[in-house]
Amino acid sequence: MSETLKRLAAVIESRKLANGGDPDKSYVARLFAKGDDAILKKIGEEATETVMAAKDARVSGDKSKVLYECADLWFHSMVMLAQFDLTPQDVLDELARREGLSGIEEKASRQ
Ligand SMILES: N=c1c2ncn([C@@H]3O[C@H](COP(=O)(O)OP(=O)(O)OP(=O)(O)O)[C@@H](O)[C@H]3O)c2ncn1[C@@H]1O[C@H](COP(=O)(O)O)[C@@H](O)[C@H]1O
């Protein structure tokens, strides 16, 4: 896993209230204190903002907002993973499991 993701996952974990996270000082601890609905709402917002940034980038040619919004989306997804005691490595493991398996073949195998 990338060292950046590993460090960020560790910081997020440290912000859990059970690990001493303080909602008065930490944005992540505040999200954990608010619970599932607040975390999931942020993911919905950031996903929508990512889509809008990508649509805008097609018109303006400026891709910087796509990166910015996608980073927000990844970050909040990492908070959600931690909320469920999952890690970015778990997601990478799932992607590795799918490696080489065509999405078209996988879909056909479900029918
Ligand atoms: N990567 C991030 C990160 N990306 C985005 N954000 C915050 O996520 C929020 C994004 O919400 P919006 O863009 O919708 O802005 P907003 O309107 O201010 O947000 P809301 O009031 O609606 O929640 C902002 O408050 C951003 O500052 C982040 N906050 C923290 N991190 C990382 O998490 C670490 C721990 O943060 P704290 O727990 O705050 O110490 C930090 O050191 C960073 O590495």
CA distance 87 to 68: 22
Span 57-95, pLDDT tens digits: 999 999 999 999 999 999 999 999 999 999 999 999 999
Pocket-testing residue among 31, 40, 72, 76, ligand 1, by greatest number of atoms within 8 A of Cβ: 72
The ipTM is: 0.93
pLDDT at 110: 81
The structure's pTM equals 0.94
What is the distance between the alpha carbons of residues 13 and 80, in angstroms, rounded to a whole number? 11
Instruction: Return the H-helix or E-strand segment holding 52.
Output: helix 36-60
Residue nearest to atom 16 of ligand 1 (CA): 42
What is the C-alpha to C-alpha distance for residues 11 and 9, in angstroms, rounded to an integer? 5
CATH architecture of the domain with range 3-87 = Orthogonal Bundle (1.10)
3-class secondary-structure state, position 77 = helix
